[in-house]
Amino acid sequence: MAKSGIQPQLWTPRPVAETLQVYTDWADSYDADVGDRGYVTPTRIADAVLPWVTPAVTVLDYGCGTGLSGRALARAGLGPLHGTDITPAMVEVARQKKIYDRLWVGEPGTPPCAPGEYPVIIATGVVSLGAAPPDCFDLLLDALAPGGVLALSFNDPTLQDGRYDARLTARADDLEILFREHGPHLQESQMGADVLVLRRR
């Protein structure tokens, strides 16, 4: 990824070991690559979730990557911020930004916290083709206490795939959709994304 930038094949299903390699190779150039393409989803999610978050509660940025999502949350005034990601090289870049009060490397397919530990979980560009599989949605919803808020994005290939939205439909009794809107994701690549803010019932 470092030499060639974002390729269309990024947004296809692949084994987690391959995904880890993709993000390991991409860590050093990720900010420049997505920045060049007008990556606006972090700001869209921060703006969308802000009205639903009690001031000063600790927010978990799940799949924080290099910290672009956390930086948008911090700029919106959210925090304290904790961040976790499965790719150590991405976490190392995030660490240099000094925006997280706690930052750690997590395990794929493993809950990031004890149930109910965080009242707000953000997953920007994570539960989607190109990153975590559809069942990651259940993992995050189950990590919230009732009343907790989950904000995430589904990019256009993810929306077309349908399996991610199917998880949302399957869990309809467990959640309330507070906000859902389609808009730009990578502006220069003409790619969009839905931003969703959900409350666990």
Q: What angle do CA 21, 95, 92 make, to 5 degrees?
A: 25
Quick one: 65 or 148, whose CB is closer to ligand SAM? 65
Q: Which residue is nearest to ligand SAM (CB)?
A: 65
Residue 99's nearest CA partner among 118, 84, 80, 113 is: 80
Q: What angle do CA 68, 69, 74 make, to 5 degrees?
A: 95
Work out how close the CB of 122 gets to ligand SAM at its nearest, in angstroms, rounded to a whole number.
8
Quick one: 53 or 151, whose CB is closer to ligand SAM? 151
Quick one: 8 or 146, whose CB is closer to ligand SAM? 8
Work out how close the CB of 8 gets to ligand SAM at its nearest, in angstroms, rounded to a whole number.
14
Tell me how far apart the alpha carbons of residues 143 and 12 are, in angstroms, rounded to a whole number: 26
Q: What angle do CA 27, 33, 38 make, to 5 degrees?
A: 130
What is residue 140's three-state secondary structure?
helix
Quick one: 31 or 198, whose CB is closer to ligand SAM? 31
Residues that bind ligand SAM (CB under 6 A): 16, 19, 23, 42, 63-65, 68-69, 85-87, 90, 108, 124-126, 131-132, 136
